[in-house]
């Protein structure tokens, strides 16, 4: 997919050093963009996430769940006059469903280890459940919330506090955030659906989520 980072080679040196050779991306990670520019406009959020979701839908179609979606792993560069051309990076802890690595991760989680970045992890990632594309949709919901408001929907300090927030707490209402109040209600509702604790209540795919956001632009 044009919005997925390209990996050209990987291997090990004679001394055991492991390496991955990837394409060079000249741009800024999304977290730096948010930090430097503040909340992004709803139309820009949709334009960026459409590209992210295109990359994810292809991966999901191949049975691959990213598992570590966060603004640091989304880089914006310029291509063909588009200053927000997306590259999705770091599928480093991705695993195919039903794979041996997925089974190992479940065992690690049961032993008290978590793989991912706690502020952006889905509730089921903390419990060792089998993950599917809807786990990535939850992470997308957090990213969309942060892009629109310049803050996270939950607040915690340690991985286990984050786990408690994701599994039991409700997101801070977006309309109570100064910039969030200006986001069309249907877009806010789409983000909140993506942040549902129950995966069955979330949009069924990344593409479905961004379609809901795009429809919300009609409220501008």
Confirm if 142 and 150 have CB atoms less than 8 A apart: no
Closest C-alpha among 189, 69, 199 to residue 134: 199
Backbone angles phi, psi at 77, to 5 degrees: -130, 180
Q: Could you confirm whether 132 is annotated as catalytic?
A: no
Options 26, 57, 68, 218, the catalytic residue: 68
Closest C-alpha among 103, 106, 175, 174 to residue 141: 174
Structure-block tokens of residue 40: 């992004």
Query: Euclidean distance between the first and final Cα of the chain, in Å?
Result: 31
Q: In Å, how far are 41, 139, 184, 215 from 145, measured between CA atoms?
A: 12, 10, 13, 16
Give the integer Cα–Cα distance in Å for 43 and 218.
Answer: 10
User: What amino acid positions are annotated as catalytic residues?
Assistant: 68
């Amino acid at each position: 997919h044009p919005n997925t980072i390209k990996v050209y080679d990987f291997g090990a040196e004679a001394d055991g050093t492991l390496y991955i050779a990837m394409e060079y991306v000249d741009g800024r990670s999304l977290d730096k963009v948010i930090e430097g520019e503040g909340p992004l406009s709803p139309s820009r959020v949709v334009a960026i996430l459409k590209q992210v979701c295109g990359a994810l839908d292809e991966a999901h179609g191949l049975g691959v769940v990213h598992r570590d979606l966060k603004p640091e792993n989304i880089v914006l560069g310029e291509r063909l006059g588009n200053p927000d051309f997306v590259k999705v990076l770091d599928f480093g802890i991705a695993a195919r469903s039903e794979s041996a690595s997925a089974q190992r991760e479940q065992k690690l989680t049961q032993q008290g280890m978590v793989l991912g970045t706690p502020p952006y992890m889905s509730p089921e990632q903390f419990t060792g459940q089998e993950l599917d594309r809807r786990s990535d949709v939850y992470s997308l919901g957090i990213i969309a919330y942060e892009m629109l408001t310049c803050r996270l929907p939950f607040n915690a300090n340690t991985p286990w506090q984050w786990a408690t927030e994701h599994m039991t707490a409700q997101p801070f209402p977006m309309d109570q955030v100064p910039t969030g109040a200006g986001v069309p209600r249907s877009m806010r509702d789409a983000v909140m659906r993506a942040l549902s604790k129950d995966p069955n209540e979330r949009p069924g795919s990344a593409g479905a989520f961004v379609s809901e956001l795009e429809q919300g632009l009609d409220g501008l």
